[in-house]
Amino acid sequence: MHGGVFPYRDFIGGDEMKAIVQDVYGPAGVLELREIARPAIGDQEVLVQVRAAGVDPGVWHLMAGEPYLIRVMGFGFRAPKVKVRGRDVAGVVAAAGARVTRFRAGDQVYGTCESGSFAEYAAAREQRLAAKPASLSFEQAAVVPISGVTALQAVRDRGHVQAGQQVMVIGAAGGVGSFAVQIAKASGATVTGVCSSSKAGLVRSLGADEIIDYTHDEIDCHGARYDVVIDTAGNRPLSLLRRAMTPRGTLVLVGGEHGGGRVLGGFDRQLLRAPLVSMFTGQRLRALTATEGAEDLAAITGLIDSGAVTPVIDRTYPLADAPDAIRYLAQGHAAGKVAVTV
Ligand SMILES: NC(=O)c1ccc[n+]([C@@H]2O[C@H](COP(=O)([O-])OP(=O)(O)OC[C@H]3O[C@@H](n4cnc5c(N)ncnc54)[C@H](OP(=O)(O)O)[C@@H]3O)[C@@H](O)[C@H]2O)c1
C-alpha cells in the first residue's frame, strides 16, 4: 500500500466515468457506484481503460480505515484521501504521459495504480505497469500484481528458497498462498501447503507435494522439518511456527496476526516481536512489506509465460457489485483470487 493524495486534476476531455467511490471509512456499505471525473495523468503516468481489477485484503483495509495505523501512514486520517477503491489493474492504455517510454495507446497492460482501479479508467505510474501476459485474460492478469509479487518476494527475497529445500506455505489456497506454492515449486523446493479440507485438491493442483489440512492437524505434526515457512494466514503464535522449522530455518511473515486489534491490526508481530525473537535464535524471522515494481512484474510475467505460474480465480463480480466482492474476500476463505470486471 502506498500513501499520498492522488490528485483528481483536470478532466481528460471533460469526460466522466463510473467508479466505486467512498467518502468515509466504514464497511462495504459505504461504497457507491458513482459518476466522477476521469483521473488526469502526469508526465510519467498512463491512463488505463480498466478491463478488470483484482481484489485483495488491502482493499478492505483502505475501505475500513483499519488498522488505524494506516491512517497515520498517509492514507487519510478521518476519511480516505483516495476515494476510489482497488489497486490491482489490467486494461488497455488510453493515453500516455509525455515522458512515458514503454507504453502507448492500445497496449494491453497490468500492474497497480493509485487512483483506484474499481473504475472505468485508472491512472498508473509507468514503473508500476508491465505488458499483460498474452496467455492471460484481463481478469486473470488483474489478480496477479499484488498477490503474485508479494508471493515472489516472500519466496525469493525473504525466504531465499533453494532447490531441494522443504517449504511450507500456510494459507496455500489464498490469494498470496496460491502464487507462493507455484513459485516455491518452480524454485525446485518440496512444498507442503496448509489449507482446509475443501481446498486440498486445488492446492495439490498448484504443485504442492504434501497437504496439511489444518482442520485436522497442526503445522508441527511432522516435527521441525521446514527450511522455509511462509505464513499468510497469521493465526499461529511465533512459538508454534518456529516448532515446524529447522534450527536454521526462515520464517516469512506475510500477513498481520489474525485478530490483532483495530489499532495495529497484528502488525506488531512483524514489526516488533519477530525481530526481537530473531535476536535470540538461529532461526530467521522476517517480515515482508511488498512493493510492486516493473522488474518484479516482469519476473512474474516470465513465470506465467513459462507455464510455471497460473493465477487461480475463485469468483468474478461486475463493477457495480464490487462491495460484494470485498465482503466475500473479507470472509477469509477464497479459493485463489477474486476479480472485478469493468
Ligand atoms: N506483506 C505484504 O506486503 C502483503 C501483501 C499482500 C497481502 N498481505 C496480507 O497477507 C494475508 C493473506 O492475504 P491473501 O490475499 O492471501 O488473503 P486470502 O486470499 O483471504 O487468503 C487467506 C487464506 O488464509 C487461509 N486460512 C484461514 N484460516 C487459516 C488457518 N487457521 N490456518 C491456515 N490457513 C488459514 C484461508 O484458507 P482456507 O480457505 O483453506 O481456510 C485462505 O486461503 C492478509 O493478511 C494480507 O493483508 C500482505
Query: Is 168 near ligand 1, meaning CB less than 6 Å away?
Result: no
> Measured between alpha carbons, how far is 224 from 152 in angstroms, rounded to an integer?
24
pLDDT of residue 216: 97
Distance from the alpha carbon of residue 231 to the mean position of ligand 1, in angstroms: 8
Cell of 295: 522488474
Question: Mean pLDDT, to the nearest integer, of 116-141?
Answer: 97
Lowest mean pLDDT among 29-33, 138-142, 265-269, 301-305: 265-269
Question: Mean pLDDT, to the nearest integer, of 183-201?
Answer: 98
Q: What is the mean pLDDT of the chain?
A: 92
Query: Is 233 near ligand 1, meaning CB less than 6 Å away?
Result: yes
Would you place residue 111 in the very low, low, confident or very high pLDDT band (cuts 50, 70, 90)? very high
Query: Is 146 near ligand 1, meaning CB less than 6 Å away?
Result: yes
Cell of 299: 519476473
> Measured between alpha carbons, how far is 6 from 69 in angstroms, rounded to an integer?
20
Question: Mean pLDDT, to the nearest integer, of 81-100?
Answer: 97
Using the predicted structure, report yes or no on whether residue 256 has a pLDDT greater than 60: yes
Ligand 1, atom nearest to 291 Cα:
3
pLDDT of residue 259: 64
Ligand 1, atom nearest to 331 Cα:
20
> Measured between alpha carbons, how far is 216 from 239 in angstroms, rounded to an integer?
20
Distance from the alpha carbon of residue 38 to the mean position of ligand 1, in angstroms: 33
pLDDT of residue 164: 98
Using the predicted structure, report yes or no on whether residue 11 has a pLDDT greater than 50: no
Using the predicted structure, report yes or no on whether residue 291 has a pLDDT greater than 70: yes
Higher pLDDT among residues 264 and 44, named by residue: 44
Ligand 1, atom nearest to 56 Cα:
15
Would you place residue 276 in the very low, low, confident or very high pLDDT band (cuts 50, 70, 90)? confident
Q: Which residue's C-alpha comes closest to atom 10 of ligand 1?
A: 255
Ligand 1, atom nearest to 176 Cα:
16
Question: Mean pLDDT, to the nearest integer, of 91-104?
Answer: 97
Distance from the alpha carbon of residue 135 to the mean position of ligand 1, in angstroms: 26
Question: Mean pLDDT, to the nearest integer, of 5-9?
Answer: 41
> Measured between alpha carbons, how far is 131 from 109 in angstroms, rounded to an integer?
4
- Between the CA of residue 257 and those of 132, 231, 254, what are the distances in Å? 33, 10, 9
Ligand 1, atom nearest to 332 Cα:
20
pLDDT of residue 260: 61
For residue 130, which of 118, 119, 144 has the smallest C-alpha distance?
A: 144
pTM: 0.94
Rg (CA), the chain: 20
Peptide bond into 275 cis (omega under 30): no
The fraction of the chain above a pLDDT of 90, given in percent, is 82
Q: Which residue has the cell 496467455?
A: 135
Lowest mean pLDDT among 49-63, 175-189, 201-215, 244-258: 244-258
Query: Is 289 near ligand 1, meaning CB less than 6 Å away?
Result: yes
Question: Mean pLDDT, to the nearest integer, of 146-171?
Answer: 98
Distance from the alpha carbon of residue 172 to the mean position of ligand 1, in angstroms: 8
Question: Mean pLDDT, to the nearest integer, of 232-256?
Answer: 94
* Sheet with strand 210-213: strands edge to edge: 210-213, 190-195, 166-170, 226-231, 245-253, 284-287
Would you place residue 6 in the very low, low, confident or very high pLDDT band (cuts 50, 70, 90)? very low
Neighbours of 291 (CB within 10 A): 12
Query: Is 296 near ligand 1, meaning CB less than 6 Å away?
Result: no
pLDDT of residue 205: 98
